[in-house]
Amino acid sequence: MQRPRLGFIGIGIMGEAMTRRLLDRGWQVTAWNLERERLDLVTTHGALTAATPADVAAASDIVLMCVLDTSAVRNCVFGPAGLVTSREAQGKLLIDLSTIDPDATRDMAARANAEAGLHWIDCPVSGGPTAAREGALTIMAGGEIAAFDRGRPILTELGTNVTRMGPVGAGQTAKIVNQAIVGVGYVLMTEAAVLAEAAGIDAARLPECLAGGFADSTLLRKLYPRIQQRDFEPPQAYARQLLKDMKAVGEFAQSLECELPLVLQARDRFAQYVDSGHAMSDPASLVRLYESAGPPSD
């Protein structure tokens, strides 16, 4: 049985890593990105290119997408040369790997199906570009069971933990919870490093020292060493993205009348860092904010 042809929209840090993973695994991939120069990062590994998202739909059986935010998703799907403008979009599957608003996801999925017969599953990811290259992402999915089953062979190429959490929008909701943990975790790991260094202990050995205890975690084992070693280049993500996600967590919590003061404080830390000129810096470099001004007094 012939494999479906894949399209990939959005060749950012994660999109590049996922596209290269799929190419390594023998899939045919046609790529599009708003900044055309980034396509060179995947064409040198065998990807084809398309001039517009609509052309990606025409050249593909299943389209994957990983772009910055809700407005970018909307433009790629419904813009002047968006996916739904292709006559060949009917019956095709869209796997949205972006991290965006759950309500907007449900609205866009319904509209895309009504206008172009597109089937939509929301599949935000966690794990970073290294995990993407290794096919070791965690993927939170939302969508109809039949659509999810159709996309599963591709998702399992990208992730070792792929979980359908419910109908369309459920994946994005799970990702909001994930980002609440991650965003607070970045600040917590930063403050742990600052505290250990100020106290004069061997801060580099902290993950080893705490292994197996209640403080042990992936954040402690993988993120803390990068903060403590000031290992921020090349960026594995961008501070502006994590700030965007933390704002989304705050708005979502407000809509549910949930008070999450810790999340809001972490959001404000990242807002301060981004506003100081570090939008495109790795979020792990938040420690620079503490080095320049120290932690807040309130």
* Structural domains in the chain plus CATH codes: 6-167 (3.40.50.720), 172-293 (1.10.1040.10)
Tokens of 256: 């549910």
- 2 falls in which pLDDT band (50, 70, 90)? confident
Q: How far apart are CA 45 and CA 23, in angstroms?
A: 7
What does the pLDDT read at residue 295?
A: 47
Q: What is the DSSP letter of 36?
A: G
Collapse the DSSP code of 49 into the 3-class scheme (helix H, G, I; strand E, B; otherwise coil) and give the result. strand
Is residue 93 within 8 A of residue 84, CB to CB? The reply is no
Q: Please indicate whether residue 244 is annotated as part of the active site.
A: no
Residues 222-238 have a mean pLDDT of 96
Nearest by Cα to 161 from 138, 177, 178: 138
The mean pLDDT value of the chain amounts to 96
254-280: average pLDDT: 97
Residue 44 scores a pLDDT above 50: yes
The pLDDT of residue 152 = 98
Q: Give me the pLDDT at residue 32, please.
A: 98
292 has pLDDT over 90? no
Dist CA 129 CA 235 (whole Å):
10
CA-closest candidate to residue 37, choices 11, 6, 7? 11
Rounded to 10 degrees, the C-alpha dihedral 65/68/69/75 comes to -60
Give the mean model confidence (pLDDT) for residues 269-287: 97
Q: Partners of 139 in the beta sheet?
A: 125, 162
What whole-number distance in Å separates Cα of residue 32 and Cα of residue 209?
A: 46
Q: What value does the mean pLDDT take over residues 196-220?
A: 98
* Candidates 92, 175, 222, 244; catalytic one: 175
Q: Smallest Cα–Cα separation from 6: which of 36, 68, 52, 48? A: 48
